[in-house]
Amino acid sequence: MSWLVTGGAGYIGSHVVRSLSAAGLDPVVVDSMASGVRGFVPDQVPFYQLNILQTEKLVEIMKRHDVSGVIHLAGYKYAGESVKHPLLAFEQNVTGTAHLLEAMESSRVHNMVFSSSAAVYGTPDEDLVTEATGTFPESPYGQSKLVGEWLIRDQGVAAGLKHTSLRYFNVVGSGSDELYDASPHNLFPLVFQALNAGKTPKIFGTDYGTADGTCVRDYVHVADLALAHVEAAKKLEADAPLEPVYNLGSGDGVSVRQIMDAVAKVTGIEFSALEEARRPGDPARIVADGTLAARDLDWKMRHSLEQMVHSAWKASARR
């Protein structure tokens, strides 16, 4: 029996694949390679270059590998960019998820862990977002992730699918030097890309109503996040009860300026970040309560902020 990881050649997916293998659950990877990196998939792991819209091929793969569950990370992941590409975001995150669910139903695969996002909350009023906080997504990306959650829940009712959706907060760091975040739109890769090119990192917005005027986020280490997926997969296989959604956040808010300070300290590079205008669509603050995930998914921060910055910096040199 094995676990299919869609998007398994991506930054987060490749960490999940390694954690599954380490836990003795055999991963099989499907990735369209729209943003995946072939070298992120270990040689011994079966790999298929495939878009999740290709239902028949998915069915074939699920049968061939006796798949018992799916960790579904494939999708369109750029919140800000999705405003310009709503059709793409919905096609990949909603239609793609529907095709995958169809393939699962006809292959009798009944376990699913879904990669969702803090973006489903929009700009919450609460200091600490819980799973009961209202969902008011502000981008096509956030909307499409929320619809993905709904589809999965509905399939639970209609077809007996066992499932959980993990709402990621800001995922950073690296669990291994050869795995890096290649996103052209997020803070960590942009900061390191600038420093590696001898340029100065930028802060988008210094006039927010936060302690130092810059946006506050909840940063979590990708290797810790990957372990929560494995725990969810094991619980589903064991028929243990799980909540429909979990926040994967730390409960700690860190500002962009604090990240810049940590980067300067870890890299030893002295710089004064350039202060730019706000980036459209950025909430001032979003920080999560991860109590439920701690209770059910052995979720905890095994890495400090310094370790997140240090591991991301080391891995960025491989790009």
Ligand X SMILES: O=c1ccn([C@@H]2O[C@H](COP(=O)(O)OP(=O)(O)O[C@H]3O[C@H](CO)[C@@H](O)[C@H](O)[C@H]3O)[C@@H](O)[C@H]2O)c(=O)[nH]1
Tell me which residues in 109-168 interact with ligand X (CB under 6 A). Answer: 117-119
CB 167 within 8 A of CB 118: yes
Structure tokens at 54: 């290709």
- Closest to ligand X by CB, 15 or 110: 15
Cα(13)–Cα(18) distance, integer angstroms: 9
Let me know the angle formed at the C-alpha of 73 by 201 and 17, rounded to the nearest 5 degrees: 95
Cα(287)–Cα(217) distance, integer angstroms: 6
- Closest to ligand X by CB, 110 or 289: 289
**One-character DSSP codes across 152-171:** HHHHHHHH--EEEEEEE-EE
Q: 26 by DSSP, 3-state: which?
A: strand
Which of 4, 28, 30, 79: binder of ligand X (CB under 6 A)?
79
Residue for token pair 């050869």: 178
> Is 141 noted as a catalytic residue in this protein?
yes
Which of 5, 215, 263, 309: binder of ligand X (CB under 6 A)?
215
Q: Considering the rule CB under 6 A, would residue 217 count as an interface residue with ligand X?
A: yes
- Closest to ligand X by CB, 77 or 303: 77
- Give 298: exposed, middle or buried? Use CB within 10 Å, 0-12, 13-18, 19+: middle
Q: Considering the rule CB under 6 A, would residue 186 count as an interface residue with ligand X?
A: yes
Q: Considering the rule CB under 6 A, would residue 279 count as an interface residue with ligand X?
A: yes
Neighbours of 35 (CB within 10 A): 17
In the complex, the smallest distance separating the C-beta of residue 249 from ligand X, rounded to whole angstroms, is: 8
Binding string, residues 15-54; x marks residues near ligand X by CB under 6 A:
----------------------------------------
Q: Considering the rule CB under 6 A, would residue 257 count as an interface residue with ligand X?
A: no
Which of 5, 41, 187, 230: binder of ligand X (CB under 6 A)?
187
Active site residues: 141
